[in-house]
Amino acid sequence: MSWLRRVVVTLVSMDVARQVELARMSSGLFPPAAPVGFERNSSVVEVRESDGDAVVIFRWDGDSHLYGIPISPDDVRHEFFYPDFAVSSDDEWLESVSLGLGVMLDTGYRATARRTQVDDYIELGADGGWPVDDRFYLQVVDENFELLAERLIEMGLSPAVALQCHLQNQLMTWLLSYENNSTGGPSVGQAVVSRTGRDSAELRLVETTAGVPDTVLTDLAYFVSHDAAAAGARLVTTGMSDSVLDLAGFEPDQFGVLSLDTSFLKADPDAARALLEADLAGSSNQWGRDRDLAGRPLPGSRAARLLHRLRWGASGTRPRTYGSYAES
């Protein structure tokens, strides 16, 4: 063996040993029963080794499923969650792992990650997960029911199903969708899930206002079901039959009832992404734009906004003009 080859083999062996040691050190960041990072809704079960990675196995709140997130020691000179940022030491990289996992889970990674069944846990992967339609935001309703109900009525949405479930103490989760702009409106859709048993639920309502892309309906069905899973539901059924529900993972059971297993392994993020990309490519609407108080989209440039204000007034309605008269 030449000296150069011996040097390469030695360096590779040292690198592999270092990666193994870093994987072992990673496992020490997550003791059993501790939260993952700073996310208090999670609880570590154990850390396993898989193909050189340290896999953090954890549970989430009331969700009965077991989850795993792999930590690869392949690149330890960049932060775990922010790979564009360099780190200067192994300790700094290990700190970025703990913080990164906390950020991931705090920003919805459990729902948006790609899901793959591995042994007894569901692996959450960063590539190919559920797409995010940045033109809209989602809001869980857990207070101010009456105030939000009034706003929904103004937008043409009925809060009756959600309020009925709330009064009957059956409301599991109520999710709203609203336009992502500086005014936080208008509200464009809602979804309601009621509890039907200890670990079962029903998607009672999912609807959007006229002209809203199907991506909103799909996201509402998908994410409201994730909220139901976090509240303990293993199965969500529905009496609705909208064609986009299958993207979220609903499919007919042996009795023909649309049902969703909250493992979400039957969800189709690839089809959901294709739906979003098609709408973005062919849409002529202006969803996600800032609006005036009357709901008209505001132009992008400062000059155009000035003209908009002169034409419509500060509120978006035509300014009133008053005639003058002279007393005789």
| Strand order through the sheet with 67-71 | 42-50, 53-60, 67-71, 121-125, 114-118
Is there a domain that residue 153 lies in?
yes
pLDDT at site 256:
87
Using DSSP bridges, classify how beta strands 200-208 and 114-118 pair: parallel, antiparallel or unpaired: unpaired
In a domain, residue 240? The reply is yes
Half-sphere exposure of 85 (CA within 13 A, CB side): 11
Question: Side-chain half-sphere of 190: how many Cα atoms within 13 Å?
Answer: 24
Q: Are residues 120 and 140 in the same domain?
A: no
| Angstrom distance (rounded) from CA 258 to CA 248 | 11
Q: Which of 78, 103, 125 is the last residue of a domain?
A: 125
Based on the fold, state whether residues 114 and 142 are members of the same structural domain. Answer: no
Range of the domain at 62: 20-125
**117 and 144: one domain?**
no
- If asked whether residues 224 and 267 sit together in one domain, one would say yes
Report which of 137, 109, 135, 139 is spatially closest to residue 124, judged by C-alpha positions. 109
pLDDT of residue 286: 75
| 113 and 184 share one domain | no
Phi, psi for residue 119 in degrees, rounded to 5: 55, -120
**Final residue in a domain of this structure, among 97, 125, 153:** 125
Which token pair is 78? 């960049």
- Looking at the structure, tell me whether residues 155 and 199 fall in a common domain: yes
Q: Cα–chain-centroid distance for residue 95?
A: 25
Cis peptide bond prior to 186, omega within 30° of 0:
yes
What DSSP string runs through 266-322? T--HHHHHHHHHHHHHH----TTS-B-TTSPBPPSSHHHHHHHHHHH-TTSSPPP--
Does residue 312 fall inside a structural domain?
no
Query: What SS3 class is residue 247?
Result: helix
- Domain total in the chain: 2
Task: Please say whether the beta carbons of 292 and 316 come within 8 A.
Answer: yes
pLDDT of res. 25: 62
Q: Are residues 80 and 180 in the same domain?
A: no
Considering the domain boundaries, does residue 174 fall inside one?
Answer: yes
Q: Are residues 274 and 172 in the same domain?
A: yes
Q: How far is CA 141 from CA 138, 145, 152, 217, 248, in A?
A: 10, 7, 12, 17, 21
Check whether residue 95 and residue 185 sit in a common domain: no
What string of pLDDT tens digits covers the 328 residues of the chain?
Answer: 443 343 233 333 445 555 556 656 666 788 999 999 888 889 999 999 888 888 999 999 889 999 999 998 888 888 988 888 998 888 888 889 989 999 999 999 999 999 999 999 999 999 999 999 999 999 999 888 888 888 899 889 999 999 999 999 999 999 999 988 777 778 999 999 999 999 999 999 999 999 899 999 999 999 999 999 999 999 999 999 888 899 999 999 888 899 999 999 999 999 999 999 999 988 666 787 677 666 666 666 676 667 767 667 665 554 443 333 333 3
User: CA-based Rg of the chain, rounded to a whole angstrom?
Assistant: 25
Q: Are 161 and 208 contained in the same domain?
A: yes
Chain Cα centroid distance, residue 3: 53
Task: Judge if 87 and 145 occupy the same domain.
Answer: no
CATH number at residue 274: 3.40.630.30
Residue 232 has a pLDDT of: 93
Whether residues 275 and 140 share a domain: the answer is: yes
